[in-house]
């Protein structure tokens, strides 16, 4: 009997050592330090203990802000901030409506804030909570896009001098195919041309010129941005083979995923896909059928770190690596979450890095830093990021940050 009482006492006293952290408030901050960002602050009843998450979906910012403010936050007030998985499940499954970019971005905002809180409570960086570091930092790639091969080669040389070893190369085919970056486009009717045949000729020529200029060592990748049909993508992957691309990204539209079989059958060029996916089930056929080599999901659009580490674990079993999306259209908080996850998972591949508008430094602290080819996060507790709310208020939301639409020469819509 005494033994039973002793065990019961040990159990209850141990569980009581983790203090409950009630969520007392959830604030949504929409700010535009050069780009629009939707930020989520989860506040607890523990003095000074709060977490920041990123819930930015560019071009649809206010839809996510409303989903959070009007529909999700009210469900969470009073709940234990320490129950990350339970909160994830209760938002994803418990509220019935699930999936899609708006809801999964909203969920990511909450998830990241809860991981931030968990780390702060434990006094540990999030990568330590995820199992501890498996590497010194995250191998990063840099965008080196340009108007022609000579300009791209110069950009690669300049990035190499900074310590980068992996580079992305996009080129315009003047008047026929444009690869806009996602800088501010203040219009809903901004069209750009795309014609597939000149594009399909131009990219192998670009890679041939880059290899001629730079030799075989720079790792160079290309993002098709979902523009090709499966057989066109197969042709491109095949034509690029002699130039050993690091990977070919998003070769086809994301809807019918098994179409990647066609690309796969014709080429050994490594394939990457996933920035338009919203949860693990969209990745599943590509991983289990080994149709891709890198999963490119966006942590801010798949429900956060909780989902990212599950996708990574499934991918690991199939020799597929992770290459989380890292564009400047998600906030530095997501970039920090990327690197914390990259640090902990065994099957990390490469991390996309971004240059943010200058004003971003006024609002955010703890953006990952780059040195010697690697992105790193500090070992500060949580995600190591913080938001200067007064500065954020000085950069109000700017409507109109839409992506352009691509049109074929006959005027019909083309995937962007």
Residues that bind ligand CS2 (CB under 6 A): 58, 182, 223, 225, 275, 325, 327, 329, 352, 403
What DSSP letter does each residue of 51-104 carry, written as one string? EEEE---TT-HHHHHHIIIIIIHHHHTTSBTT-HHHHHHHHHTTTS---SHHHH
Q: Which does 329 bind (CB under 5 to 8 A by kind): Mg ion, ligand CS2, none?
A: ligand CS2
Cβ contacts of 60 within 8 Å, gap of 6 or more: 101, 102
Q: CB 325 → ligand CS2: shortest distance, Å?
A: 6
Q: CB 405 → ligand CS2: shortest distance, Å?
A: 13
Percentages helix, strand, coil for the chain (3-state, rounded to 5) are: 40, 20, 40
Q: Which does 109 bind (CB under 5 to 8 A by kind): Mg ion, ligand CS2, none?
A: none
Q: Which does 352 bind (CB under 5 to 8 A by kind): Mg ion, ligand CS2, none?
A: ligand CS2
Q: CB 265 → ligand CS2: shortest distance, Å?
A: 25
Q: CB 252 → Mg ion: shortest distance, Å?
A: 13
Residue 416, burial from CB neighbour count under 10 angstroms (0-12, 13-18, 19+): middle
Q: Based on CB atoms, which residue is closest to Mg ion, 241 or 415?
A: 415
Q: Based on CB atoms, which residue is closest to ligand CS2, 105 or 232?
A: 105
Options 54, 116, 145, 223; binder of Mg ion; rule CB under 5 A: 223
Q: Based on CB atoms, which residue is closest to ligand CS2, 58 or 121?
A: 58
Per-position x/- string for 236-275, each x denoting binding to Mg ion as judged by CB under 5 A, each - no binding: ---------------------------------------x
Q: CB 114 → ligand CS2: shortest distance, Å?
A: 24
Q: Based on CB atoms, which residue is closest to ligand CS2, 313 or 403?
A: 403
Q: ∠ CA(411), CA(412), CA(415), 5° rounding? A: 125
- Closest residue by Cα to residue 278 from 307, 258, 241: 307
Are the C-beta atoms of 297 and 323 separated by less than 8 Å? no
Dihedral sign, Cα of residue 283, residue 219, residue 152, residue 56: positive
From the list 172-180, 222-230, 334-342, 403-411, the region that binds Mg ion by CB under 5 A is 222-230
What DSSP letter does each residue of 162-211 carry, written as one string? HT--EEE--B-BTTTB--------B-SS-EEEB-HHHHHHHHHHHHHHHH
Q: Based on CB atoms, which residue is closest to Mg ion, 239 or 352?
A: 352
Q: CB 285 → Mg ion: shortest distance, Å?
A: 20
Q: CB 280 → Mg ion: shortest distance, Å?
A: 19
| Whole-number CA gyration radius for the chain | 22
Tokens of 265: 């059958």
Q: Which does 54 bind (CB under 5 to 8 A by kind): Mg ion, ligand CS2, none?
A: none
Q: Which residues bind Mg ion (CB under 5 A)?
A: 223, 275
């Amino acid at each position: 009997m005494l033994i039973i009482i002793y065990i019961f006492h040990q159990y209850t006293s141990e569980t009581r050592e983790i203090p409950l952290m009630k969520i007392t408030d959830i604030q949504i901050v929409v700010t535009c330090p050069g780009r629009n960002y939707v930020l989520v602050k989860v506040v607890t009843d523990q003095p000074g203990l709060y977490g920041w998450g990123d819930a930015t979906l560019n071009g649809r910012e206010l839809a996510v802000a409303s989903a959070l403010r009007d529909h999700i936050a009210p469900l969470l007030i009073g709940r234990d901030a320490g129950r990350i998985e339970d909160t994830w499940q209760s938002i994803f499954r418990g509220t019935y409506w699930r999936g899609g970019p708006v809801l999964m971005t909203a969920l990511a905002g909450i998830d990241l804030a809860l991981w931030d809180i968990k780390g702060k409570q434990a006094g540990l960086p999030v990568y330590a909570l995820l199992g501890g570091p498996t590497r010194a930092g995250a191998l990063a790639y840099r965008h080196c896009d340009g108007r022609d091969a000579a300009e791209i080669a110069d950009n690669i040389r300049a990035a190499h001098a900074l310590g980068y070893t992996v580079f992305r190369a996009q080129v315009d085919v003047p008047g026929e195919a444009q690869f806009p970056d996602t800088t501010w486009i203040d219009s809903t009717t901004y069209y750009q041309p795309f014609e597939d045949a000149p594009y399909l000729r131009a990219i192998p020529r670009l890679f041939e010129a880059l290899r001629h200029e730079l030799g075989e060592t720079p790792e160079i990748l290309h993002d098709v941005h979902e523009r090709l049909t499966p057989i066109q993508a197969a042709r491109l992957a095949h034509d690029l083979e002699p130039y050993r691309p690091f990977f070919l990204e998003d070769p086809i539209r994301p809807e019918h995923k098994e179409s990647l079989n066609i690309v796969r059958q014709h080429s050994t060029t490594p394939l990457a896909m996933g920035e338009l996916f919203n949860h693990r089930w969209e990745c599943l056929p590509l991983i289990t059928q080994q149709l891709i080599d890198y999963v490119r999901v966006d942590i801010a659009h798949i429900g956060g770190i909780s989902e990212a580490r599950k996708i990574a674990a499934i991918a690991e079993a199939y020799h597929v690596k992770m290459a989380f999306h890292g564009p400047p259209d998600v906030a530095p908080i997501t970039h920090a979450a990327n690197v914390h996850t990259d640090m902990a998972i065994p099957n990390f591949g490469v991390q996309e890095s971004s240059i943010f508008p200058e004003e971003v430094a006024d609002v955010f602290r703890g953006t990952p830093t780059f040195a010697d080819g690697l992105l790193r996060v500090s070992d500060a507790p949580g995600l190591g990021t913080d938001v200067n709310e007064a500065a954020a208020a000085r950069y109000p939301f700017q409507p109109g940050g839409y992506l352009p639409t691509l049109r074929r020469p006959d005027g019909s819509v083309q995937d962007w």
